[in-house]
Structure 1
Amino acid sequence: MTFFQDLGITSELMFILVIDLTIAIVLLTLMRYLQGWSVNVNSRDELAVKDNFAFGISTAGAVMALGIVLTGAITGEAASSYAVEAIGMTAYGLFGLILIKIGRWFHDKMALNEVCKNDLIIKGNVSIAIVDASAAIATAIIIRAVLLWAEDLTVNTFVAIFSAFAISQVMLVLLTRLREKRYAGRNQGASMQQALAAGQTALAIRHAGYMLAMALSFNAASHFIIYNPEAYIGNLIGWSMFSIIMLATLSLLITLVKKLVLATINLAEEVEKQQNIGIAAVEMALSVAVALLLTALMA
């Protein structure tokens, strides 16, 4: 105990850390089982008996997403009591879990409206699983940013969080529609969703990069939008305007960087025709790197 005291860690703080960690582990475990319950399958059978890689990727995305959200719920500051700490951590954790599930449902119905995501994942479609996992992680990055932006633990706080979350989901769908339009224009009107359903993994990896990049850029909004829990309309307008500006800026920068870094390479041919996973992975890395740089500069 002397060692921890020398580091400035009191017994009260250690107990709070134990509370937070215990609640986090319980919620992560719950998320794993929710994956199976939500599609009426046994998660253990899918993961360990059938060796369903797609289900594993989807589950990994959900678990990682919840872990990201929980980092936004943990402030690092001790609450006024153990009960308040437990209630706050549980409330934010459960709210984050619910938002992740809502986000995935919204993405399934609106972004992936041409395919049945759950059926394809149960059948082992890795491409759809990659998009699903990336959408969950992107949603979690956004939720975490909003949790850190908001303050206190009131009804108005949750309204403010949900408002920003709703805007982010609309922007993810808009991003998907823009990517679909570009894909159709290069492939004689073909559907990007049907290509993903057909198992084009390279296409899924590239699209995942765009979703993660948009989520990371969304993070910068918390540095510019002043938190006011009672300004419902103001919050919606602020997040909406900033999201559109960031999406446009990010798209232009990613296009420019890819043309410079991957000069002389026909990206559409390599990814969409030849299904070159290596090139798609580089594209994904560049998208995320640009978003991280943009977010750091704006912070």
Structure 2
Amino acid sequence: MTLFQDFGITQELLVMLAIDLGIAVLLLALMRYMQGWSAKVNSSDELAVRDNFAFGISTAGAVAALGIVLTGAITGAAAHTYLQEAIGMASYGICGLILIKFGRFIHDKVALNHVDKTAAILKGNIPVAIVDAAAAMATALVIRAVLLWAEDLTLNTFIAIVSAFVVSQLMLVVLTRVLEITYRRRNKGQDLQQALEEGNTALAIRHAGSMIAMGFTFNAASHFMVYEPTAYITNLFGWFIFSLAMLLVLSILLWLVKKLVLARIDLSDEIERQQNIGLASVEMAISIAVAIIMTGLMA
């Protein structure tokens, strides 16, 4: 214990960390089983008996998303008592879990409204599963950004989380519609959602990169806003304005970086028609890298 004390690690801190870790593990396990319950299937059978890769990808995205949310709760200041720490961690975790699942529902019914994501994933559609996983992680990045931005465990904190969540879902829908319009223009009126349903994995990887990058822009937007617990309308409007501005800046930077890094390559032909997964992965990496760099610069 003397060595721990030299580094400022006390018994109280170790207990707090054990509480946080224990609750986190329980919530991650719960998220895994909720994937099966929401689809009305046995998750163990889908993962290990039917070897449904698409279901595994979707579940992986949901579990990773919850882990991202929990980092926003764990990195906060320790509570005054063990009970407060447990309540705070569980509350943030359950709130994040519910919003991730609700966000998946919204993305299914509004953003990808021409595709039954649950049915497609159960049939083993990997492109749809990739987009589903990315949407969950993008939503989680937003929730994490708000957890780090807001303060204390109060009703106002949860109102702030819900406000940013609403804006994030709107941005995901807008992003999907913009990608659809662009895809339709370059492919003689063909539908992006139909291409995903028909198995274009490269297109799904590109789409996933765009959504995850958008999630990181919310972190960048949080640096421009001061948390006012009761300024509900101001917070909501502020998240909308700054997240939209960050998304526009990101789009311009991505256009420029892709022109330089992927010069003399026809991305439209390679990804949309030749279904070049390798090149799509590079484009996804560029999108996420630029978003992370932008977030770091804003901090």
Please give the TM-score of this superposition, normalised by the length of structure 1. 0.98
Match of 1:40 in 2: 40
Q: Take 1:149 and 1:52, find their aligned partners in 2: how far apart are those partners?
A: 38
Cα distance per residue 1:50-80 (max 9 Å; x no partner)? 0000000000000000000000011353211
Q: 1:149 to 1:76 in 2, by over 3 A?
A: closer
User: How big is the shift at 1:181?
Assistant: 0.3
Superposition map of 1:85-164 within 5 A: 85-164=85-164
Q: 5+ residue gaps in structure 2? A: none
The number of residue pairs the alignment matches comes to: 299
Match of 1:174 in 2: 174
Q: Take 1:268 and 1:78, find their aligned partners in 2: how far apart are those partners?
A: 49
Query: Is the aligned partner of 1:30 residue 2:12?
Result: no
Query: Is the aligned partner of 1:237 residue 2:237?
Result: yes
Match of 2:80 in 1: 80
Q: Take 1:114 and 1:227, find their aligned partners in 2: how far apart are those partners?
A: 38
Please give the TM-score of this superposition, normalised by the length of structure 2. 0.98
- SS of residue paired to 1:252: helix
Cα distance per residue 1:64-105 (max 9 Å; x no partner)? 000000000113532110111111111111011111111111
User: How big is the shift at 1:157?
Assistant: 1.3
Match of 2:251 in 1: 251
Match of 1:61 in 2: 61
Superposition map of 1:12-27 within 5 A: 12-27=12-27
User: How big is the shift at 1:241?
Assistant: 0.6
Which moved further from structure 2: 37-46 or 68-77?
68-77
**AA in 2 matched with 1:52:** N
Q: Take 2:76 and 2:220, find their aligned partners in 1: how far apart are those partners?
A: 21
Q: Take 2:293 and 2:83, find their aligned partners in 1: how far apart are those partners?
A: 39
Q: Take 1:71 and 1:282, find their aligned partners in 2: how far apart are those partners?
A: 27
**AA in 2 matched with 1:296:** G
Match of 1:197 in 2: 197
**AA in 2 matched with 1:115:** V
Q: Contact 2:221–2:239 (CA<8 Å) still a contact in 1? A: yes
Q: Take 1:156 and 1:250, find their aligned partners in 2: how far apart are those partners?
A: 30
Q: 1:275 to 1:134 in 2, by over 3 A?
A: same
Quick one: percent identity of the two aligned structures? 68
Query: Is the aligned partner of 1:10 residue 2:31?
Result: no
Q: Contact 2:167–2:236 (CA<8 Å) still a contact in 1? A: yes
Cα distance per residue 1:255-294 (max 9 Å; x no partner)? 1111111111100000011000011011001111111111
User: How big is the shift at 1:28?
Assistant: 0.4
Cα distance per residue 1:202-259 (max 9 Å; x no partner)? 0000011111111111111111111011111101111111111111111111111111
Q: Take 2:23 and 2:67, find their aligned partners in 1: how far apart are those partners?
A: 11
Which moved further from structure 2: 116-125 or 249-258?
249-258
Q: Contact 2:76–2:148 (CA<8 Å) still a contact in 1? A: no
Q: Take 1:253 and 1:153, find their aligned partners in 2: how far apart are those partners?
A: 36
User: How big is the shift at 1:2?
Assistant: 2.9
Q: Aligned Cα RMSD in Å? A: 0.9
Q: Take 2:246 and 2:222, find their aligned partners in 1: how far apart are those partners?
A: 12
Which moved further from structure 2: 34-43 or 213-222?
213-222
Q: 1:241 to 1:76 in 2, by over 3 A?
A: closer
